Amino acid sequence: MPGILIIDDSANIRRFLRSFVERNTPFTICGEAENAAEGIEKAKNLQPDLILFDSTLSAISGTEAASLFRKTLRAISPMLSDPKGY
């Protein structure tokens, strides 16, 4: 069953997002990645319904990552997350 793919370079933030989603929503987490390149590969394999990712991924900005996800994985909706920025 597809669900949400979380991409963030911080393991603590990934754990927080997973816990929040699992405890407060009916959605499932289908996978995690720590950078955009790993996220694209996992998204190709997992075919998530939604990608939740950090707006400040290392080596690529959130805007660039969203554009890359849209071009590469047209059926998937990327969503920026910035839990560090409040």
Decide: residue 78, CB within 10 A, 0-12 exposed, 13-18 middle, 19+ buried. Answer: buried
C-alpha distance from residue 31 to each of 39, 63, 74, 79, 86 (Å): 9, 21, 18, 15, 24
Which domains does the chain carry?
4-81 (3.40.50.2300)
The radius of gyration computed from the CA coordinates of the chain, to the nearest angstrom, equals 12
Mean pLDDT of successive 10-residue stretches along the chain, which has 86 residues:
84 94 93 88 86 76 74 62 50
Decide: residue 8, CB within 10 A, 0-12 exposed, 13-18 middle, 19+ buried. Answer: buried
Global pTM reads: 0.77
Please report the pLDDT score of residue 86 as a whole number: 41
